[in-house]
Chains A and B, each alone.
Chain A
């Protein structure tokens, strides 16, 4: 049981959502708390139909609500009550399958690999070893259908987002942004540094379980050649 951290800040985010903030950094315990609150709020939705689907992230939960059915004060009260009943979730509580993702690193599949390597004074092979050598955990999903934010990127290859996003990134591209790594589930615009590409299907809306990666899943990248 982790040490109890302070109460989250609950603030309106526009007229139809609250942003619940547990902290200002990417931290496994804060992410676990955000995830636990989101699950709790989702469980309570049948009793509070004016509350929408909660969206957890590193240290926050977005809580949409229908402002014509519930005011922001009542929504905040509901969140505060849920926080009060949360048990002490921590990052190490999460358990899930180990999912291997085969990746072709570099070349046209990973056009930013060399740039990432240069930035850190490493060779491309070093970046691949570091990226494929680490175990990752799914923190939350967002950004695109089935896109999982993964914790566990080695600090040595953490790289800021590109200054201006690309208009089109191919599906399956594996990227780095800040301290995160992830796989683009579909072809879309994006600002991550692309280091490789996989053929794994990360999202299929017709599957009973549409997303391959879910919060808690453990993930490993395996060089495909």
Chain B
């Protein structure tokens, strides 16, 4: 399959499992902002869950198929459609014919350019996206300017090709059978994120309030506003390593939830960390969304993550039956 970009969209990147082995050199972990949705898109396309796919942000690209093939869609509904033709829904696989043009310009189909729910959609090409491995990954590292498509976002004229490895005979018409946490809420409902205490005190100052996602929400972090924290909650700390999901409080008092392209170390206080199972929710936050934090414990956090993995495996097994694939269930479990 070959998809040529007529327009790159707001921010379209290639993402696979990222680069967790290079954090000691300051290289961000990278990978999908919504790991659940990347896995679903890949499974629908017959790929391994962590294969390279396209991550679309709020306003997707215009893509024309120079060569047809099957793709899996997941994550936010960005109004995907074949121009002049079918609507393409998240959580399904489709066969795209050569010459068909794909648009992702608004969930109501009227070109308003806003997802109704969620911020990021994933488009997986059967066989994965063909991009060179840099430091062990095909992910676009925007902060480092390498990986994916020359280290930058998709733009007009780029060609995205499917990988050489056709792991399974791609099947269109597949439907993902498991509910997607990150885009399931009603559009206006506050998103509840579960958090654990961090490396500094003060998680209680975050949990009492409803926050609003600021315009500065990207793959590095999601900035929150709407409250003034007590001055002693934020500020400088001795620089230390940071996990994805850490909630950093700079001296100006606006919390930042760190995303996959976050800095590997930081010098601001971190009173809380979002649990791994809720990172997909963070990846789907849009400017203006409301966010609440609730404190949880590590047993609950690990149970939630295990449950998520099990649901992914159950979805993969259902697809296996629907499409008649073998190997799929085993690879989705990991």
Contacts and interface: CB of A to CB of B under 8 A. Distances in A.
A153 B199 CA distance: 26
Contact of B275 (A14, A26, A141): A14
Contacts of A163: 251-252
Interface string A160-178: 1101110000000000011
A41 to B, nearest CB: 10
Q: DSSP class of A's interface residues: helix, strand, loop or mixed?
A: loop
B305 interface: yes
Contacts of B143: 144-145, 186, 188
B240 interface: yes
A211 B25 contact: yes
A12 B301 CA distance: 12
B306 A68 contact: yes
B250 A58 contact: no
Contacts of B298: 12, 15, 72
Interface string A32-43: 000000100010
Contacts of A126: none
B24 A53 contact: yes
A182 to B, nearest CB: 11
A52 B22 CA distance: 10
Contacts of B302: 15, 67-68, 71
Given A161-B236, A164-B252, A205-B146, A145 B306 contact: no
Interface stretch (A17-25, A98-106, A111-119): A17-25
A147 B22 CA distance: 13
Interface string B26-60: 11100000000000000000000000000000000
Interface in B240-283: 240-243, 245-246, 250-252, 263-267, 270, 273-276
A217 interface: no
Q: DSSP class of B's interface residues: helix, strand, loop or mixed?
A: mixed
A147 B34 CA distance: 27
Contacts of A55: 23-24, 241, 264-265
Interface string A127-149: 00000000000001111111101
Given A62-B240, A62-B242, A203 B144 contact: yes
A12 B263 CA distance: 19
Q: In the complex, which range does the number of interface residues on chain B fall in?
A: 35 or more
B68 interface: no
B309 interface: yes
Nearest to A142: B265
B305 A52 contact: no
B25 A67 contact: no
A148 to B, nearest CB: 8
B313 to A, nearest CB: 12
A196 interface: no
Given A14-B276, A57-B239, A68-B309, A145 B266 contact: no
Contacts of B236: 160-161, 178
A121 interface: no
A142 B239 contact: yes
With most chain B CB atoms within 10 A of its CB, the pick from A55, A147, A178 is: A55
B145 A186 contact: yes
B187 interface: no
B135 interface: yes
Nearest to B301: A15
Contacts of A211: 25-26
Nearest to A67: B302
Contact of A143 (B135, B145, B251, B265): B265
A96 interface: no
Given A64-B243, A144-B143, A13 B24 contact: no
Nearest to A165: B250
Given A12-B196, A14-B275, A67 B22 contact: no
Given A13-B273, A17-B241, A57-B239, 7 more contacts: A13-B243, A19-B241, A38-B24, A67-B305, A68-B305, A161-B251, A163-B252
A-B pairs, 7 with minimum CB distance: A62-B241, A142-B265, A14-B273, A55-B241, A15-B301, A145-B144, A60-B240
11 contacts: A14-B276, A55-B264, A56-B241, A58-B238, A58-B240, A60-B241, A140-B265, A141-B25, A143-B266, A177-B267, A205-B141
